[in-house]
Structure 1
């Protein structure tokens, strides 16, 4: 992801209307799932790059939602780490629920190209 795309993502998150926001728990779950899927896929493929972008987006969204919910940054980071570890286990086991949740997260990820 380029620096311009990252900056655009931050601006997009800050400008999002309240109706488009997701809960802290959903953002953390999506961050964990997309981070795990990105790690498992690797960054060489087009899908791997899309997952990396989605992981970055959801990580920023989770941090923003955590701030809005009054959570300390260290707590939000730890929540994402736990979600990623859980998601790696689930996706490695090819859990249908985790795959479906990952797909929903990807559908909610804005196009960052």
Structure 2
């Protein structure tokens, strides 16, 4: 009984994280922020749902398959995110809020995203 409640909590938590991250995909203005939200869907939401499903299935071959799927998602999410970010950078997509904006006070500051 306790395992089923924990399973339901993990699955609900994963669905909630996915819903909030999907809202971020809709609301964020540029590619890089949307990419950040999409990785939260995979790492936070999907992993929590996978843990809930593993608790629900118990010790079974299905649990091993879910574990392998978790490992696959955990490995491929950063690789795919890096490929998308690199592609956006090579196409010249400029972030709306550069993370080096606090360096403008320095003497020799150059904005790396500004086209020359």
TM-score normalised by L of structure 2: 0.34
Q: Which has the higher contact order (CA 8 A, sep 6+)?
A: 1
Larger Rg: 2
